[in-house]
Structure 1
Amino acid sequence: MFKSIRTGAVALAALAAVAAAPAWAADLTLKLGHLANEQNAWHKAAVKFGEELAARTDGRIAVEIYPNESLGKEMDLINGMQLGTADMTITGESLQNWAPMAALLAVPYAYKSLEHMDEVAGGEIGEQIKAQIVERARIRPIAYFARGPRNLTSNRPIAHPDDLDGLKMRVPNVPLFVDVWKALGAQPTPMAFSEVFTSLQNGAIGAQENPLALIRSANFNEVQSHVNLTQHVRSWIYLTISELAWNKLSDEDKAHVMDAAAAAQAYERELFLASLAEDRAYLEGKGMTFTEVDGAAYAAKAKDAVLANVNDEIKPIVEGLFAE
């Protein structure tokens, strides 16, 4: 009798556990890791992707999101996606380690405007880039997010490359950046980002270049008076899924993934445009002057240095983009 009562209690507990289980328990959970923090538009767009995919699949597919490199650094995640230990990430020109065409995501002066960049990323060249990434990296781009264009800050207006006049400026330790700014007439100095504020403050350098969001978050308005709208690097980054995870999906669910990705891309663009306007208003409110520049003169002077630094596979494409 005691055994019967005990068995009955276990059965009731099991039933209660089933009843307490969430109705939306997923058949498949995709792990999406990325480097941005929770306030970043990329993270918010990733959350949107997860919500849209869950809604479209009635909860059969869930997305677990790991910001702040909590699932691994960018290259670790790419390797993990190839091995099956991660499913998704947000990545860009780092993919050129496998697919040389991914270098096209961030070529100085290749894209004259956001609209021009959209035409490329969403057009035939963009399809070629994605196809090569799928083939060689075994990772599938399913949406792309625009990145804030890089602009030059200084303590005087620099509307034309002739105005650089040997200005000592910080650049990332990237040969392409060093050569381009040298060709433009500056004196580029590779330096860790963490050292830039102090170097501007003590006059070791007189300028630096970064997107508005970083100019704002680093408080460069405290040590620089001008933002010159050089917009010398326009770029995008992909929301990606591993081919291993993609191939597990039915055709119907692949369509749901792409629809959810399209919704996330549109949402991220709204956030992106709002942040550009907000960052500019903030920096102007802090006393920075925004200077329009002669973009054509900058591009013309940078062209040879850009072409000397891109690989032979993409050089004809870059030449074509400069000619547009």
Structure 2
Amino acid sequence: MKNIKLFMLLTAFTLLLTACGGNDTASTDEGGDSGDTIKWRMGHLADEDHIWHETSLKFAELVKEKTDGQIDISIYPNNQLGGETDTLNSIRSGNVDLLITGETMQNWAPKAALLAVPYAFRDSDHLSKVVEGDIGREIEEDIIEEVGVTPLFYMERAPRNLTSNEPITSPNDLDGFRMRVPNVPLFMDAWETAGASPQVMDFNEVFTGLQQGVIHGQENPVDLIHSGGLYEVQDYVNLTEHVYSWIYVVVGNDQFEALSDDLQAAVLEAAEEAKAYGDQLFEEEIQHYHELLESEGMTFHEVDQDAFRKVMEPAIEASLTEEQFELYQKILEVE
């Protein structure tokens, strides 16, 4: 009887030790973190073949790798999360986390208008000096404070060109020409002064608008002209090259600030590497898009760029606030 009692006591003691040991193992597995994966949603307006999408996928891959899987980014192309304005509002309300966006942000941050001022930048080299210098940092600070998003890295865009079904050589050819522009007041004013009839329209509505004759043309870089399939409803790429610009990958301030210092550093490191990857794609693919559009039947038509520049200058000065115009003049002075 005594042996049975002793056996039962030892068995109970052993079970107690095993249970305690199991709890210690579970605690160690958690590693001091919650163990929860942070899931971010990222949107953009281009299709799956576009360099923005390829760069986004690379960025998501790098973030996952550098955070040991703690941050998982899902990419939604083709405006699946809504147009730029809607998605920016969704980021501000916490329903979306990241977006590729540009001059649309001027609706909150006035200095973001300088991302795409007609004929402000001479070439790619001039643009990079501005973006990576004091002027670029000033614009980014305005975006952080006023839009509520943090730029992680930028991508250069191919020059914006005007598309149409009849060749356009000078502003004289714009009489009665209905064209789509993004929700950027400066674009509206510049093209209206040039003689066109511009109207705001989300990019995902442009193809149908052209197909149905609601608009006669639009203006975008060659990559988005191809991405949007506009070669099916437009015959000419008129080489106005009226805007050299850049675009940001942004994350919501709240979402970014919620990360630990280590995770923030990992995201920024991933952003730097993704930018280098995107730059390489840009160099390789812009000429490729030009060739693709020609193969789809579009004609690249030379225009009188000086005439467009001259006719738009008064609208640019009138449209910019005193603060914006001061920044614009600083851009022109960068050597």
Residue 259 of structure 1 pairs with residue 278 of structure 2: no
Which deviates the most, 190-199 or 37-46? 190-199
Q: Residues 67 and 184 from structure 1, CA distance in 2 versus in 1: closer, same or farther, beyond 3 angstroms?
A: same
Q: Partners of 2:311 and 2:238 in 1: how far apart?
A: 17
In structure 1, the partner of 2:106 is: 96
For residues 301 and 237 of structure 1, do their structure 2 counterparts lie closer, same or farther at Cα, with a shift above 3 Å needed?
same
Per-residue CA deviations over 1:76-125 (Å, capped at 9, x if unaligned) read 54345445454333222232233211122222222222222222222211
Alpha-carbon distance change, 285 to 258 in structure 1, aligned in 2, over 3 angstroms: same
**Any idea what SS the aligned residue of 1:144 has?**
strand
CA RMSD of aligned residues (A): 4.2
CA distance in 1, matches of 2:233, 2:37: 50
The within-5 A match list for 1:244-255 is 244-255=254-265
Match of 1:63 among 64, 72, 76: 72
Q: Post-superposition shift, 1:72?
A: 5.8
Q: Do residues 198 (structure 1) and 211 (structure 2) align?
A: yes
Aligned-partner SS, 1:39: coil
What corresponds to 1:12 in structure 2?
none
- Does residue 32 (structure 1) correspond to residue 41 (structure 2)? The answer is yes
- Of the three residues 127, 131, 144, the one matched with 2:154 is 144
Q: Is the 8 A contact 1:171 1:178 kept in 2?
A: no
In structure 2, what residue type is equivalent to 1:198?
A: Q
Which of 34, 43, 55 aligns to 1:45? It is 55
Which whole-Å CA distance do the structure 2 matches of 1:265 and 1:313 have between them? Answer: 30
Indicate the percent of aligned positions where both proteins have the same amino acid. Answer: 37
User: Contact conserved, 2:104 with 2:182, CA < 8 A, in 1?
Assistant: no
More off after superposition, 182-191 vs 103-112: 182-191
- Cα distance in 1 for partners of 2:81, 2:159 equals 28
Contact conserved, 1:89 with 1:239, CA < 8 A, in 2?
yes
Mapped partners of 2:147, 2:209: distance in 1: 34
Q: Does the alignment pair 1:135 with 2:149? A: no
Distance 2:143 2:232 in 1: 41
Tell me if 1:119 matches 2:132: no
Cα distance in structure 2, aligned partners of 1:236 and 1:60: 30
Larger Rg: 2
How far 1:45 sits from its partner (Å)? 1.5
Q: Classify 1:205/1:124 alpha carbon distance in 2 versus 1 (closer, same or farther; 3 Å).
A: same
CA deviation profile, 1:32-88 (whole Å, cap 9, x unmatched):
32133433322322221122233334x153232140455565445434544545433
Partners of 2:333 and 2:63 lie apart in 1 by 40
Equivalent residue in structure 1 for 2:119, among 109, 117, 124: 109
State the Cα distance separating 1:147 from its structure 2 match.
3.0
Determine the C-alpha separation between the residues in 1 that align with 2:171 and 2:60. Answer: 45
User: Structure 1: where are the runs of 5+ without partners?
Assistant: 1-24
Counterpart contact for 1:28–1:62, Cα < 8 Å: yes
1:272: how far off? 2.9
1:146-187 Cα distance to aligned partner (Å, 9 max, x none): 23332123455544445x263624233755334323433445
Displacement of 1:214 after TM fit? 4.0
CA contact (8 A) 1:108 1:232 kept: yes
- TM-score, normalised with respect to structure 1: 0.77
Residue 284 of structure 2 corresponds to 274
Tell me how far apart the structure 1 counterparts of residues 83 and 165 of structure 2 sit (CA, whole Å): 35
Whether contact under 8 Å (1:303, 1:322) holds in the other structure is no
Residues 220-273 of structure 1, C-alpha deviation per residue, up to 9 Å, x if partnerless?
Answer: 545654322111123322112233333344444433222210111122222233
- Stretches of structure 2 that go unaligned for 5 or more consecutive residues are 1-33
Aligned to 1:308: 318
Confirm or deny: 8 A CA contact 2:181 2:218 kept in the other structure: no
Counterpart residue identity of residue 247, structure 2: I
SS at match of 1:38: coil
Distance 1:127 1:167, change over 3 A: same
Query: In 1, are the aligned partners of 2:161 and 2:240 still within 8 Å (CA)?
Result: yes
Describe the superposition over 1:190-245 as per-residue Cα deviations: whole angstroms up to 9, x where unpaired.
Answer: 77624443356xxx876543332343355554565432211112332211223333
